[in-house]
Amino acid sequence: MSREPKLSLIPLGGLGEIGKNMMAVRFGENILVVDCGLMFPGEEMLGIDIVIPDITYLLENKEIVRGIVLTHGHEDHIGALPYVLRQLNVPVYGTKLTLGLLQGKLKERNVDAVINTVKPREIMQIGPFKVEFIRVSHSIPDAVAIAIHTQVGVVVHTGDFKIDQTPVDGQVTDFHRLSQLGDKGVLVLLSDSTNAEIPGYTLSERMVGNTFDETFRQATDRIIIATFASNVHRLQQAITVAHRQKRKVAVVGRSMVNVVNVAYELGYLDIPENTMVELDEANRLPRHKVVILTTGSQGEPMSALTRMALSEHKQVDIVPGDTIIISATPIPGNEKVVARIIDQLFKQGAHVIYESASSIHVSGHPCQEDLKMMLNLVRPKFFVPVHGEYRMLIKHAELAKDVGIPTEKIFVAENGQVLEFTRRTGRIASRITAGKVLVDGLGVGDVGNIVLRDRKQLSQDGILIVVVTIDRDAGLIVAGPDIVSRGFVYVRESEQLLEEARLKVKNALDACADRGISEWSPIKSQVRDVLSKFLYEKTRRRPMILPIIMEV
């Protein structure tokens, strides 16, 4: 009797977190990867630039990875590719705008890749997988869900989506095709859980256009709009309303300039003639004739809006009368930073319109009723909530139960768990290596928990460096001990404390000499222990202590 074929789904990122979305689909000796995103570091990841998925599993099986398919062009779905493609030379498939944005990133990092442009409703044969791309609405054009047809059954991955009946570009989600797949039978549905905690329906992107219209009419001076650079529909609405109100538009911020250029070149932005101007020219125009589109809706430290708020931007000064629209919701964890920027803008005399106080932003993700609609359209045999923190996955699982999917056929998984399916059964089978790889400057993965722990200690209690020169043969201190403090105490105001510390070090060195200890390692340990205990008793702080012993 032949063994029943099995299909494995292996999340490498995006479960129990927002960001670094990556899902491996394995059938026999073939792996297909869906998305390859990054995540921005949390506050505890001091100095880290970005976080990407750990692809150890893919590297161990690199001979059988057939390709990477992309759902859309957001950073949390394509941002890790410049790092991953250096190690994994496989073809990439995506829609035109997604690949347009990706190519800019690859070029910036000198990475070559084989990329294949696909269109909605197109089917690509990638190894044994028939991969179908299905149009969905999202906060960036050219977003697709992906249906993977295998011998075991069909897997539908929604990517990020929203149910928008009146999208800005007129490209409505392909409900018909999703329903057709549901009729034929879908083995597993993987669906976006970002807004699973929010009741009701997600509002249409057009609502923001109406709010822009009203705000532009009321504004008597310059308008500055901060939003996600990748939200092309939002940029389109701002440009359209500005043109209607006879205002010129300037773009500030590197990522915003890049996206506007790529989207315009590929035909995803319709910019009326003579509407766009350089920032220099905008500064020479009457203020009531200007709209500035800028990055910084998340309060990023180096973004254009943050520098404007702190009066550090070279070309844009905030002045009383400016209307500033922050058209985005703070990503969880960014609330305090964004609130601080809003306060700063108010202090500069600007009129600030922000999400919690107006309908200036709508989500690009589905709320509870939209999620139920997707479940009812696709009607899968098994369901796996993806793309969300753990509580969101749990909420989404509850919604699936509400629409009639049996509890035993719903899997709330974690990154690294292997979900194994046959035509009739599903289970969590095993676990593989998955996690975070930290990118710091040019270093990829060279900063780990120990380095972060040291950085945390340095940031909290500072460092104390003890320098001493010893004549090893005579067992005498020739010079020092000298103590250098950084981030621990201010030397001029703590001379007595440091003098006592110096004495403690000298006594420790004498004790080592008396006991005949001449190896540097135990001497350093003794100095560290004595000094650490003394400083904690005196200050209740634990600075990092770095003994440097030189010999003559």
Catalytic residue, chosen from 365, 370, 387, 461, is: 365
Structure confidence at residue 1 (pLDDT): 38
Whole-number Å distance between alpha carbons of 257 and 310 = 22
Tokens 């190519």 map to which residue?
103
* Catalytic annotation present for 183: no
Question: How is residue 103 written in tokens?
Answer: 């190519």
Whole-number Å distance between alpha carbons of 201 and 527 = 64
**208-213-219 Cα angle (round to 5):** 115
Question: How is residue 83 written in tokens?
Answer: 């790092």
Whole-number Å distance between alpha carbons of 6 and 436 = 28
Render each residue's pLDDT in the chain as its tens digit; 552 residues: 347 899 999 999 999 998 899 999 999 999 999 999 998 877 666 666 778 898 999 999 999 999 999 999 999 999 999 999 999 999 999 999 999 999 989 998 899 999 999 999 999 999 999 999 999 999 999 999 999 999 999 999 999 999 999 998 889 999 999 999 999 999 999 999 999 999 999 999 988 888 888 889 999 999 999 998 889 999 999 999 999 999 999 999 888 999 999 999 999 999 999 999 999 999 999 999 999 999 988 888 788 999 999 999 999 999 999 999 999 888 777 788 889 999 999 999 999 998 755 678 888 999 999 999 999 999 999 999 999 999 999 999 999 999 999 999 999 999 999 999 999 999 999 899 888 877 766 667 656 667 667 667 677 778 888 887 877 665 566 676 777 777 777 666 667 777 777 777 777 777 776 666 666 777 778 778 888 888 787 777 788 888 877 776
Q: How far is CA 341 from CA 46, 100, 453, in A?
A: 21, 32, 29
Q: Is the N-terminal amide bond of 481 cis, ω within 30° of 0? A: yes
Say which CATH topology domain 206-356 has. Answer: Rossmann fold (3.40.50)
Angle between helices 254-265 and 96-108 (to 10 degrees): 130
DSSP secondary structure code for residue 21 in this structure: -
Say which CATH topology domain 7-200+363-444 has. Answer: Metallo-beta-lactamase; Chain A (3.60.15)
Let me know if 14 is exposed, middle or buried by CB neighbors in 10 A (0-12, 13-18, 19+).
buried
Whole-number Å distance between alpha carbons of 353 and 176 = 39
DSSP helix/strand/coil, 410: strand
The one-letter code for the residue type at 293 is: L
Q: How far is CA 374 from CA 106, 117, 199, 367, 400, in A?
A: 34, 26, 15, 11, 10
Query: At 314, phi and psi to the nearest 5?
Result: -70, -30
Structure confidence at residue 511 (pLDDT): 74
Whole-number Å distance between alpha carbons of 227 and 305 = 10
E strand or H helix at 418: strand 417-421
Comparing CA positions, the residue from 87, 86, 88, 43 lying closest to residue 67 is 88
* Catalytic annotation present for 233: no
Query: At 242, phi and psi to the nearest 5?
Result: -60, -45
**365-103-226 Cα angle (round to 5):** 45
Structure confidence at residue 467 (pLDDT): 81
Q: Where are the domains of the chain?
A: 7-200+363-444, 206-356, 462-551
Catalytic residue, chosen from 35, 54, 192, 461, is: 192
Q: Is the dihedral of CA 341, 342, 344, 349 positive or negative?
A: positive
CATH 3.10.20.580 assigned to 462-551: yes
Whole-number Å distance between alpha carbons of 148 and 483 = 64
Residues 6+ apart with CB under 8 A from 2: none
Could you give the residue ranges of the DSSP H alpha helices within 443-519? 449-461, 495-514
Give the DSSP per-residue string, 233-244.
HHHHHHHHHHHH
Whole-number Å distance between alpha carbons of 223 and 69 = 39
Question: For 86-109, how does the pLDDT look when each residue is reduced to its tens digit (9 = 90+)?
Answer: 999 999 999 999 999 999 899 988
